[in-house]
Amino acid sequence: MNSYIFILFSLLCFSVFSHANDWPSWRGEDRSGVSKEKGLLQSWPEGGPKKIWSSDQAGIGYSGFSVSEGGLYTLGAFGKEERLLAFNASTGKSVWSLKLGELLTNGWGDGPRMTPTIADGKVYALGGKGNLVCADAKSGKKIWSVDLVEDLGGKVPNWGYTESVLLDEGRVICTPGGDQGAIAALNAESGKVIWRSKEFTDEAQYSSPIVILNRGKKEYVQLVMKNLVGIEADTGKLSWKSPWTGRTAVIPTPIHDDGHVFIATGYGVGCKLVKLSPGGVNDVYENKFMKNHHGGVIKHGKFLYGYSDGYGWVCQDFKSGELKWNEKKALGKGAIAYADNRFYCLGESDGRVVLIDANPTGWKSKGEFTITPQTKQRSSRGKVWTHPVVSNGKLYLRDQELVHCYDIRG
At residue 109, the pLDDT reads: 83
Write the CB contacts of 50 (distance below 8 Å, at least 6 apart in sequence): 406, 407
Q: Please report the pLDDT score of residue 2 as a whole number.
A: 44
pLDDT in tens, 54-94: 999 999 999 999 999 999 999 999 999 999 999 999 999 99
User: Which helix (H) or strand (E) is 4 found in, with range?
Assistant: helix 2-17
Domain boundaries, the chain: 39-62+333-410, 220-293
pLDDT, position 153: 98
Fold (topology level) of 220-293:
Thrombin, subunit H (2.40.10)
- CA–CA distance, 248 with 266 (Å, rounded to integer): 9
What is the structure's pLDDT at 379?
84
- Distance, CA of 257 to CA of 169 (rounded, Å): 21
- Confirm if 160 and 104 have CB atoms less than 8 A apart: yes
- In the 8-state DSSP scheme, what is residue 114? -
- Is residue 180 within 8 Å of residue 152, measured between CB atoms? yes
> Can you name the residues that pair with 118 across neighbouring β-strands?
123
Provide the 8-state DSSP code for 347. Answer: E
pLDDT score of 15: 41
Provide the CB-side half-sphere exposure for 374 (13 A, CA). 17
- Sign for the pseudo-dihedral over CA of 313, 396, 75, 58: positive
Q: Which of 198-203's residues contact partners 24+ apart within 8 Å by CB, and which partners?
A: 198/236, 199/237, 199/238, 200/227, 200/229, 200/231, 200/238, 200/241, 201/177, 202/177, 202/226, 202/227, 203/155, 203/157, 203/177, 203/178
* 3-state SS, residue 109: coil
Cα–Cα nearest to 38, from 406, 405, 354, 341: 341
Strand 94-102: give its sheet, edge to edge: 66-68, 71-78, 81-88, 94-102
pLDDT value at residue 85 = 99
Question: Taking the CB of residue 8, how many other CB atoms lie within 10 A of it?
Answer: 10
Please list the ranges in the chain whose pLDDT falls under 50.
1-18
